[in-house]
Amino acid sequence: MRILKIGFVALFLALLIVPASAYADQLNFTVTGFTPSGSSASPGSIVYGGAGGPLVATNVQIQDVTGVGTPANNGYTALLSNAVLNFTTGNFSGNNSTSWFFGPGGSISLVGGMPDAGIPDGTTLFSGSFSAAATVTVVGTEVNIVIALFGDTKDPNLVSFYGLPNSAYLGSLQITFELYAQAAPPQGFSSWTILNGAITNTPVPEPGTMALFGTGLIGLAMAIRRRLAS
C-alpha cells in the first residue's frame, strides 16, 4: 500500500510541475500551394521517384502562422513573406494497396520572413528532421500525406513573438495534393497541385520534467504489479 501511495504521489507531483503550456501552446502554419512557375523560385513539387528512395517536397508555400494558447499574441495570425517549405523523408520502407510508407530521418525546413517579428526574408524559421514514418495515402485522384512526427528548432524571434521557449519542438504535417498521373503503391508519383495543408508545432517539455513524470508512471506501474501478484 505504501508503494502504491508513493507512485501516485510522484505521478501527481509530475502532473503539477508539467506546465499546461508544454502541451497546449502551439504554432499552426498554413500550407497554401506550390511556388508558381512565374516566380523567382523554381516551381514546387512533391515527388517520389520510386526505386526505394525518399519522398521529396520542394518550394511548398506557407502563408502564415497562428499562435494557439500561446503566452503572447494568442490567436494572432502573422503573415509570412516568401516562405517556402522543403522536406525529404527517409527512404521508402513498404506499402499496402493504398499507401506508401517512408522511414524517419531526412530533413525539413521553412525559410522566409515574418514582418511582424522583424524577421527578414531568407531566414530559416525552423529546421529539423523526421523522427517518425511518413504515410502517403491515395483517395481517388487526391493524395494525403501525413507526417506523423518531426523534431525541429525555431528562429528565436519567431518563438519570442508568441512568448514560447527557444527550445526543441515537435511537429506534424498534413498535405492533400493531386497526382500528376494516377499511380498505385509502390510506383513512383509526382504532383504540382496542393489542395490544402497544415503544420502544427508544440514545444517539447523539459527533460527533467519528463523524467519526473516517467518516475511517477514507473512507481505506479510497480505498485499495481505488486498488488496484482499478492
Domains of the chain by residue range: 1-18+206-224, 26-204
Amino acid at site 194: I
Residue pointed to by grid coordinates 519526473: 212
Q: What cell numbers appear for 158 in the block?
A: 519567431
This prediction's pTM: 0.78
pLDDT tens digit at each of 230 positions of the chain: 554 444 444 434 443 334 443 445 899 999 998 865 445 556 789 999 999 999 999 999 999 999 999 999 999 999 999 999 999 999 999 999 999 999 999 999 999 999 999 999 999 999 999 988 899 999 877 888 887 689 999 999 999 999 999 999 999 999 999 888 888 899 999 999 898 999 999 998 755 444 443 444 444 445 434 544 55
**Contacts for 148-156 with beta carbons within 8 Å, 24 or more apart?**
148/172, 150/108, 151/204, 152/108, 152/126, 152/127, 152/128, 152/201, 153/126, 153/127, 153/128, 154/125, 154/126, 154/201, 155/119, 155/123, 155/124, 155/125, 155/126
